[in-house]
């Protein structure tokens, strides 16, 4: 084989590699779409952990003598108030709701998942209405500031004021 023949073969070989993949430019996007659909299907089909308020375990440890307050506003003239919810180190919004659930009279609540994914679905039989401009849902504030984290991880400090309200999200 002379130098010109080798050069021609290399040129043809270089041209055939792109020609093999050029016939299937749709393959990568198709595989990507299939992967995304599989992820969505998995998340839709996996069971959601739904819990009652009493499922939250009370904290272990000594009482500190400090408190937070909890108010549940149903959007009418009959809020429920718990002005002295015992505070403990690492206490979350979900812990405060669980404490109120164990009181008599207290509240009943239903939530799903836990930790950073915890989401309150229903308080005293009133369930979130879902999405849309006119849908009311349970929204919480701490000291007048709207939630920035899940109720399962939002920690409280002594004297914090928690407000859960059934309202439109602004």
Decide if pLDDT at 66 tops 80: yes
Looking at residue 163, its pLDDT comes to 97
Least trusted range by pLDDT, from 8-12, 21-25, 72-76, 91-95: 8-12
Looking at residue 47, its pLDDT comes to 53
Cβ of 126: how many Cβ atoms within 10 Å? 15
> Which has the closest alpha carbon to 154: 106, 91, 103, 87?
91
Least trusted range by pLDDT, from 3-7, 72-76, 88-92, 100-104: 3-7
Looking at residue 17, its pLDDT comes to 47
The DSSP secondary-structure symbol of 106 reads -
Q: What is the pLDDT of residues 100-127, one digit of tens each?
A: 999 988 999 999 888 888 899 999 999 9
Q: Determine how β-strand 161-167 pairs with β-strand 145-146.
A: unpaired
3-class state of residue 107 by DSSP: coil
């Amino acid at each position: 084989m002379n130098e010109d023949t080798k050069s021609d073969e290399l040129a043809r070989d270089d041209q055939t590699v792109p020609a093999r993949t050029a016939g299937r430019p749709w393959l990568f996007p198709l595989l990507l779409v299939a992967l995304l659909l599989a992820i969505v299907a998995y998340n839709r089909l996996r069971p959601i952990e739904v819990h009652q308020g009493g499922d939250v375990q009370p904290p272990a440890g000594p009482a500190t003598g400090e408190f937070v307050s909890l108010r549940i506003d149903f959007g009418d003239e009959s809020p429920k108030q718990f002005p002295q919810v015992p505070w403990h180190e690492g206490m979350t919004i979900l812990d405060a709701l669980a404490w109120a659930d164990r009181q008599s009279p207290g509240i009943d609540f239903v939530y799903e998942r836990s930790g950073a994914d915890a989401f309150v679905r229903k308080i005293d039989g009133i369930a979130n209405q879902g999405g849309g401009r006119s849908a009311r849902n349970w929204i919480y504030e701490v000291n007048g500031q709207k939630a920035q984290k899940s109720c399962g991880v939002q920690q409280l400090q002594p004297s914090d004021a928690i407000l859960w309200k059934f309202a439109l999200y602004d």
